[in-house]
Amino acid sequence: MAMETENKKFAFSYYHIFLGLLTILILRSCMEGASVNRLPYSEFKTHLEEGNVKSVSLRGELATGEFKKPIDGKTTFQTTIVPPEIAGELDKHGVVYESHGQSSLFGNFILFFLPTILFIGFWYFILRRGLKGISQGGGSFMSIGKSKAKIYVEKDTKTTFKDVAGADEALEELREVIDFLKNADNVKSLGGKMPKGILLVGSPGTGKTLIAKAIAGEANVPFFSTSGAEFVEMFVGVGAARVRDLFEQAKKTAPCIIFIDELDAMGKTRHSNMISGNDEKEQTLNQLLVEMDGFDTQGGIIILAATNRPEMIDPALLRAGRFDRQVVVDKPDRKGRTDILKIHTKKVKMGEHVDLDAIAGLTPGFTGADLANLVNEAAIIAMRDKATSIGMDHFTRAMERIVAGIEKKSKVLNAKEKEIVSFHEMGHALIGYCLNRDDKIHKVSIIPHGIGSMGYTIQRPTEDRYLMTKEDLENKMAVFMAGRASEMLIFGHLSTGAADDLVKATNIAREMVMRFGMTKELGFVSYEDAGPTFLEVKEGFGRASLADHTANEIDQCVKKIVMDAYDRAYAFLEEHRSLLMTAAEELRSKETLNEEELHKIFQELDQRPPESASMDESFIH
């Protein structure tokens, strides 16, 4: 269980007791005033002379009594005595008179001080609630500048390096940090210094935070965990104060580790343009820079941070002496995915014929978080099927659910749409089957899935690839354009079904021209500065620095590459039109074809003589 740096205050305080007593007094006073019959003194004298007064109780000038006969339904009365000399004069002239006496201390308090106290109390309550929300649960105004980092020890996390897989190189690098903390004297004896900062960078879901938890479990030292967003506040100076407080706590418990998740939230690059600047963020960043340079390097404090936007981090944080060690936590390869699946399937009931290596082969590009989600989705599907264990089919359906989206059972295609979609998807499958036998066609379906998708073709590589040639990229574009080529060949018209295919093919062609220098017309020149990013978000193509004729030539080259891919796909489908018709009819009748069924349909392509090919041998394997 995590130990908070500040104890929570009692909700029941003297402030609440005071308000409660004051409320009781006010209510009592109001109730007494409402229940007593206030009587003018002149009327009291009249009732007294008539003999209708049964009893009287005197308290100074205040007289309280009881009538013999009720007056207006009331048997009690209260009046204030008027001096006899004044009462006598008023009686001579028949004047109705009454005395209110001197105001009591409580009455003065109610009249003058209560509104002020209520006004102050109201604003105190509003400010206290506001500051509590601003400080993200920090409590009172005095604690807004305190660090909200949670402190963990080994028994709290229960996570070790055994629970992490698929990041062997990163773990090997971080094991040295654990050795530094456990054997600091050995490092000092050699004249070396412990590293100050280690930055974990990688795509979302690759396990950066999980690795940090494993370090906390392995190090057996206090582990301060916080987020970069917790230092950024509306008030200038609050973030810097929290940074100072965090390092003061760390110095008291050294050796220890400070972990800052999402470092880019507080360490974003500072701008020289004053319009885009932010005083609070810059002060927080400046304080972090000072603390990383200021604390004792032999004190045993190591700062561990994580981010998926390293290009956004200020260069001052990345210089030597600060976050000088950058550990890349990349997406796992096939072996890494198999190891990750072994960890996530320990707590689920697996079937006998489940092959985790085969599942890893179907999930290239999946991160550790994606694989954990895959196992969970498979378990949900098995539960929905009321199965006693999770089988291979459940994993396959879970993978399709993640890749293609949820099946839209309520979205039914009419006969014409179904025919168009079947030829479109079978065009993808036929070209994909012939272009690259290493990227197998896993499944083809014309059942609507996801958002706006009326069908899908899943093509998965048999092995991880880290380098692609020009021919590989051209083949990928031909697969994307095959859907439109198939529609044009069979129906002679265009549809909106190829919108996503056109975007993907155009993006590949533009990268071939602007980033990879794969065109003779423009030469081996890069026209785009694609900075390092792990979020896979395009920041634009940087055309501001291009001449008009260069930009026009780039557009022409991109168009030519895409159209060449379309022409290649169209020519091949035209030659094998009968096979395309047969395969589309089979898909239309069954709605879904798996890998084995597709192989039976396309087996005649493997038996045809080489001279019958109308395309380059590099295109048909």
Residue 612 burial (C-beta neighbours within 10 Å; 0-12, 13-18, 19+): exposed
Give the CATH number, domain containing residue 449. Answer: 1.20.58.760
Domain boundary among 350, 372, 404: 404
Higher pLDDT pick, 143 / 202:
202
pLDDT digits (tens, 9 = 90+) for 211-258: 888 887 787 778 888 888 777 766 667 778 888 888 888 888 877 888
pLDDT at 556: 93
pTM greater than 0.85 (yes/no): no
Whether 110 is covered by a domain: the verdict is no
Q: Which of 126, 130, 138 is nearest to 8 (CA)?
A: 138
Residue 483 has pLDDT above 90, yes or no: yes
Residues 6+ apart with CB under 8 A from 88: none
Helices (H), 135-277: 154-157, 168-182, 184-189, 208-219, 238-253
Same structural domain for residues 249 and 302?
yes
List the domain range (segments joined by +) for residue 184: 150-270+279-328
Min mean pLDDT across 55-59, 348-352, 377-381 is at: 55-59
Same structural domain for residues 435 and 565?
yes
Specify the number of domains making up the chain. Answer: 4
Min mean pLDDT across 263-267, 332-336, 530-534 is at: 530-534
CA dihedral 542, 545, 549, 550 (to 10 degrees): -60
Whether 427 is covered by a domain: the verdict is yes
Min mean pLDDT across 509-518, 524-533, 587-596, 610-619 is at: 610-619
Same structural domain for residues 257 and 371?
no
Helix (H) or strand (E) holding 405: none
Structure tokens at 106: 């409580």
Question: What letter represents residue 248's amino acid?
Answer: E
Residue 293 has pLDDT above 80, yes or no: no
Same structural domain for residues 424 and 354?
no
Distance of CA 166 to the CA centre of its chain: 23
Residue 505 burial (C-beta neighbours within 10 Å; 0-12, 13-18, 19+): buried
Higher pLDDT pick, 177 / 330:
330
| Number of Cβ within a 10 Å radius of residue 462 | 14
pLDDT digits (tens, 9 = 90+) for 91-118: 654 555 455 555 555 555 565 666 677 6
Q: At what angle do helices 279-294 and 238-253 cross, to 10 degrees?
A: 20
* Polymer length in residues for the chain: 621
Higher pLDDT pick, 87 / 559:
559
pLDDT at 487: 93
Angstrom distance (rounded) from CA 388 to CA 382: 8
pLDDT at 423: 92
If you average pLDDT over every residue of the chain, what do you get?
A: 76
pLDDT digits (tens, 9 = 90+) for 8-47: 444 445 556 666 666 666 665 555 555 557 777 777 778 7
Whether 29 is covered by a domain: the verdict is no
Using CA atoms, how far residue 146 sits from 4, 149, 245, 329, in Å, is 12, 9, 6, 32
Residue 278 has pLDDT above 90, yes or no: no
Same structural domain for residues 255 and 293?
yes
pLDDT at 481: 94
Q: Assess contact for 47 and 59: CB atoms under 8 A.
A: no
Mean pLDDT for 526-551 is: 65
pLDDT at 612: 37
Residue 255, preceding peptide bond in cis (omega within 30° of 0): yes
Using CA atoms, how far residue 140 sits from 19, 130, 148, in Å, is 19, 10, 13
Same structural domain for residues 232 and 304?
yes
pLDDT at 405: 74
Q: Assess contact for 38 and 78: CB atoms under 8 A.
A: yes
- φ/ψ (deg, to 5) at 607: -105, -5
Whether 180 is covered by a domain: the verdict is yes
Residue 129 has pLDDT above 80, yes or no: no
Whether 422 is covered by a domain: the verdict is yes
Long-range contacts from 60-66, C-beta under 8 angstroms, 24+ separation: 60/101, 61/99, 61/101, 61/102, 62/101, 64/36
Same structural domain for residues 559 and 502?
yes
Higher pLDDT pick, 5 / 469:
469
pLDDT digits (tens, 9 = 90+) for 352-403: 888 998 888 888 888 889 999 999 999 999 999 899 999 998 998 888 888 8
Residues labelled as active-site residues: 425
Whether 419 is covered by a domain: the verdict is yes
Whether 593 is covered by a domain: the verdict is yes
Q: What is the largest CA-CA distance in the chain?
A: 140
State what percent of residues in the chain have pLDDT above 90.
Answer: 16
Same structural domain for residues 530 and 605?
yes
Domain boundary among 376, 404, 432: 404
Residue 141 has pLDDT above 50, yes or no: no
Residues 6+ apart with CB under 8 A from 525: 517
Residue 281 has pLDDT above 90, yes or no: no
Min mean pLDDT across 131-135, 149-153, 240-244 is at: 131-135
Predicted confidence band at 621 (pLDDT cuts at 50, 70, 90)?
very low
pLDDT at 513: 92
Min mean pLDDT across 280-289, 291-300, 359-368, 565-574 is at: 291-300
Same structural domain for residues 311 and 380?
no
pLDDT digits (tens, 9 = 90+) for 487-535: 999 999 888 888 889 999 999 999 999 988 898 888 888 887 655 566 6
| Number of Cβ within a 10 Å radius of residue 156 | 17
Higher pLDDT pick, 570 / 237:
570
Using CA atoms, how far residue 577 sits from 492, 495, 566, in Å, is 14, 20, 16
Same structural domain for residues 360 and 425?
no
Q: Assess contact for 402 and 359: CB atoms under 8 A.
A: no
pLDDT at 24: 66
Q: Is 429 helix (H, G, I), strand (E, B) or coil?
A: helix
pLDDT at 609: 46
Residues 6+ apart with CB under 8 A from 452: none
Same structural domain for residues 431 and 473?
yes
pLDDT digits (tens, 9 = 90+) for 63-75: 777 878 887 777 7
Give the CATH number, domain containing residue 289. Answer: 3.40.50.300
Q: CA angle 197-533-338, nearest 5°?
A: 85
270-300 core/surface letters (b: 16 or more CB in 10 A; e: else): beeeeeeeeebbbbbbebbbebbeebeeeeb
Same structural domain for residues 454 and 363?
no
CA dihedral 365, 265, 324, 340 (to 10 degrees): -30
Residue 140 has pLDDT above 50, yes or no: no
Whether 409 is covered by a domain: the verdict is no
